[in-house]
Every structure is written in C-alpha cells, then in structure tokens.
C-alpha cells in the first residue's frame, strides 16, 4: 500500500468529509441539550396501560396551560416500558410539583425517573468554561508537541510536525461535529456537556495517534543516512510499521466502549457514539492524512526522489 503515491485520494476524501461537516454545521446547526440551552427534562413512567403519547400530550397541554399561561411549548418522547420524556422550558420546583400532582390525579400512579430543570445562565457559564478548557487544552498540547519534537529538526523543522499534528486534531473533531449536526437535523439528537467532553478527548486521543506515527518517521530519519534517501519510501515504511498498531489500538478502544452504545444507559449513548466516531476518524487521519501532509509540505522531496 503506497500511501504517498495515493495521497490525493485521501486528501480528496478528507476534503469532502470536512466540507460536508462544515455544510451540516452551517445549515443544520447543532441542537443543544438542556444543560447548554436551559430547560426542563422530565422522565416519568405511567403504570396505567391506557396512556399513550397522544393522551399524555392533551392532558399535559391542559396542565401547562392551567399553571403557566405564558408558555405552552413542550415535547413528549416515548421511551420503552411506558416511560415518557417530557421537555419543557425551565420551571420552578413549585410548578414541577403542581404538574406532578395533576398528572397523578389524571393517570393514577406516575413514577418519576428523573427531573432536571436548568436555568439558561448555567448553560452560558458552561459554554464559557468549555471555551476556556478548549483553548488551554490546545495550548497545552501545542507546547507538548513542540517539546516532544524539539530534538530532530533534520530534515524537517520540528514545528512542522506540530502544525500537522494539530491540523489532524481539528480534522478529527470537525467530522464528528458535522455528523452530530446531521443527526440533530435528521433525528433530533442533541449535544450536551458530554459531547464537548468527548470532543476534547478526541483531540487528545487523535493527536496521540499521530504522534506515534511521527515518532516512527522521526526515528527512521535518524537511522537513515543523511543525503540520499527516499523520503516517500521512508514515510511509507514508517506508516507500514505503525499501521497494525494504529488499527489495533483504535479497534480495541472502540470495542471496549461499543457495548455501552448498544446496551448502555440512554444518557451515554451519543457520548459514546461521538467517542467512537472520533477514534475512527482519528485513526484514519493519522495513517492516511498526517504523513502525506508531511510529505507534501516538505521542501526537499524533489531532491531525494533521485534514489
């Protein structure tokens, strides 16, 4: 497999992925969960078997209208085992109790699974925090990469490794964002705090992956004789040497968490999906994008092709 020779295939593939992701993000936007946007999420279980989404909807509409005249928007989603997830704007504990009592009066036994009501200011604070976390994380990683690659600056300046590592990191978080934006538009999937955490994790993880490949290139460069060597061949060899490792480590990581996606709790489902997407994309980019980028950027490639 000659990655350098086929580099344009991968560049085009990644280009298309990134453009599609930006397109999805720009046109669909992402749906924010209540922890970011504020609102109420209320999970109840109604034992009365006659109740369905429709009847709950009409009853809830009455209750909301009776207690809170200025807002009547709510969404009901059916979950397995007669569970329902109700979305409301932020409400007080007092209203929550009123709604709850009204539901019980109407349907008999109603069990509460969870109730979360989050004010809009919380989301704002959270976003601010994560923006900072992101910036500091990026700076930390940049510093580390610069330090890790400080020694070998022949024939490639060490900061170039760093730039490519970070570019790949961006590549790997843009694609999951695009996919989640698409899912938000298509299926109403929301992003929450966990999603942002997953993105940060992906940033760290995918950069790891790229570093291992670059480490190998760096090592091979040291071993190679100065002067005449085939840089493309050297990169191909390094990728080949690390390929099995890259694939197997991503595979084991994805395998370890995959059951959480399929049979784990609902609240982790899309967190895990984002992680899996990021790990897969990250593994792809460290094999097929990072090294060809290094090759393309490297100024002395023409000279060394002679061999």
Partner 1 sequence: MKKNKFPIFLITIVLVAVLAGIFDYQPLWSKFVSKAHLPAAVNRGWRLGLDLVGGSLLTYNVDLSQVSAADRDSVVRGLRDVIEKRVNLFGVSEPQIYIADVGDQRNLIVELAGIKDINQAIEMIGETPLLDFREVEEMPAAATASSTEQLNEGPNYKFTPTNLTGRYVTSAQVSFDSFGKPVVDITFNNEGAKIFEDLTARNVNKYLAIFLDNQPIEIPIVKEKISGGKAQISGNLTPDSARKLVERFNAGALPAPIELVSQQTIGASLGLDSLKKTIFSGLLGFILVILLMIGYYRASGIIACLALLIYVSLSLGIFKVIPVTMTLAGIAGFILSIGMAVDANVLIFARMKEELKKGLSRKAAVEEGFRRAWPSIRDSNITTLIIAIILFYFATSFVKGFALTLFIGVLMSMFSAITVTKALLEVFIRDTKK
- Cα(156)–Cα(225) distance, rounded to whole angstroms? 14
- The count of chain residues that interact with partner 1, using the rule CB under 8 A, is 68
Question: Does 212 participate in binding partner 1 (rule CB under 8 A)?
Answer: yes
The distance of closest approach from Cβ of residue 10 to partner 1 in the complex, given in angstroms and rounded to an integer, is 22
Q: For tokens 């209208």, what's the residue?
A: 65
β-strand 31-32 against 190-191: which pairing, if any? parallel
Structure tokens at 21: 């992701």
Options 113, 297, 299, 303; binder of partner 1; rule CB under 8 A: 113
Residue 279 tokens, joined: 């790990």
Strand positions, DSSP E, 52-176: 75-79, 83-88, 110-118
Among 60, 88, 272, 289, binds partner 1 (CB under 8 A): 272
- For the window 46-75, what string marks contact with partner 1 as x by the rule CB under 8 A? ------------------------------
CB-CB contact of 168 with 207 (8 Å): yes
Q: Is 89 in the site for partner 1 (CB under 8 A)?
A: no
Q: Over the range 138-174, which residues count as b (16 or more CB within 10 Å of their CB) and which as e?
A: eeebbeebeebbeebeebbebebbbebbbebbebbbb
Which residue from 107, 115, 159, 170 is in contact with partner 1, where contact means CB under 8 A?
115
Q: Should residue 264 be labelled a site residue for partner 1 when binding is judged by CB under 8 A?
A: yes
State in angstroms the smallest separation of the CB of 202 from partner 1. Answer: 9
**What is the DSSP-derived secondary structure letter of residue 268?**
G
Contact 164, 286 (CB under 8 A): no
By beta-carbon proximity to partner 1, the closer residue of 19 and 251 is: 251
Q: Can residue 211 be called a binding residue for partner 1 (CB under 8 A)? A: yes
Token output for 212: 């291992």
**108 vs 140 by CB, closer to partner 1:** 140
List binders of partner 1 among 181-210 (CB under 8 A).
Answer: 193-194, 197, 200-201, 203-205, 207-209
> Measured between alpha carbons, how far is 158 from 150 in angstroms, rounded to an integer?
6
Q: What angle do CA 296, 202, 283 make, to 5 degrees?
A: 50
Listed residue (98, 75, 85, 105) closest to 45, CA to CA: 85
Nearer to partner 1, 23 or 147 (CB): 147
Nearer to partner 1, 71 or 248 (CB): 248
3-state secondary structure 262-306: HHCCHHHHHHHHHHHHHHHHHHHHHHHCHHHHHHHHCCCHHHHCC
Decide: is 102 part of the binding site for partner 1 (CB under 8 A): no
Options 11, 28, 107, 144; binder of partner 1; rule CB under 8 A: 144
Q: Does 146 bind partner 1 (CB under 8 A)?
A: no
Contacting range for partner 1; rule: CB under 8 A; set: 19-27, 60-68, 110-118, 231-239: 110-118
Say whether the peptide bond before residue 155 is cis (omega within 30 degrees of 0).
yes
**170 binding partner 1? (CB under 8 A):** no
Applying CB under 8 A, the residues found at the interface with partner 1 are 43, 92-93, 96-97, 111-119, 121-122, 125-126, 128-130, 132-133, 136-137, 140-141, 144, 148, 193-194, 197, 200-201, 203-205, 207-209, 211-212, 215-216, 241, 244-245, 248-249, 251-260, 262-265, 267-268, 271-272, 275
């Amino acid at each position: 497999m000659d990655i350098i020779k086929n580099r344009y295939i991968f560049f085009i593939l990644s280009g298309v992925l990134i453009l599609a992701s930006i397109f999805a993000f720009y046109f669909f936007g992402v749906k924010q969960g209540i922890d970011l946007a504020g609102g109420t999420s209320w999970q109840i279980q109604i034992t009365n078997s006659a109740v369905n989404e429709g009847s709950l909807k009409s009853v809830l509409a009455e209750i909301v209208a009776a207690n809170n005249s200025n807002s009547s928007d709510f969404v009901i989603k059916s979950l397995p085992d007669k569970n329902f997830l109700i979305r409301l704007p932020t409400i007080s504990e007092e209203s929550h109790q009123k709604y709850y009592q009204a539901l019980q009066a109407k349907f008999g036994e109603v069990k509460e699974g969870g109730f979360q009501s989050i004010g809009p200011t919380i989301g704002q604070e959270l976003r601010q925090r994560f923006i900072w976390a992101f910036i500091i994380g990026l700076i930390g990683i940049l510093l580390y990469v610069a330090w890790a690659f400080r020694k070998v600056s022949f024939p490639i300046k060490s900061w170039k490794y760093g730039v490519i590592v970070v570019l790949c990191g961006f590549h790997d978080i843009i694609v999951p964002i695009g996919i989640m934006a698409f899912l938000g538009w298509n299926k109403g999937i929301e992003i929450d705090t966990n999603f942002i955490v997953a993105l940060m994790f992906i940033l760290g993880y995918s950069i790891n992956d790229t570093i291992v490949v670059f480490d190998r290139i760096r090592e091979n460069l040291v071993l190679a004789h100065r002067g005449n060597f085939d840089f493309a061949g050297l990169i191909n060899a390094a990728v080949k040497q690390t390929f099995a490792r890259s694939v197997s480590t991503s595979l084991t990581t994805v395998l370890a968490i995959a059951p959480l996606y399929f049979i784990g709790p609902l609240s982790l489902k899309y967190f895990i999906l984002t992680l899996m997407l990021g790990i897969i994309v990250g593994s792809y980019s460290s094999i097929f994008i990072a090294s060809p980028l290094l090759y393309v950027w490297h100024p002395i490639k023409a000279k060394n092709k002679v061999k």
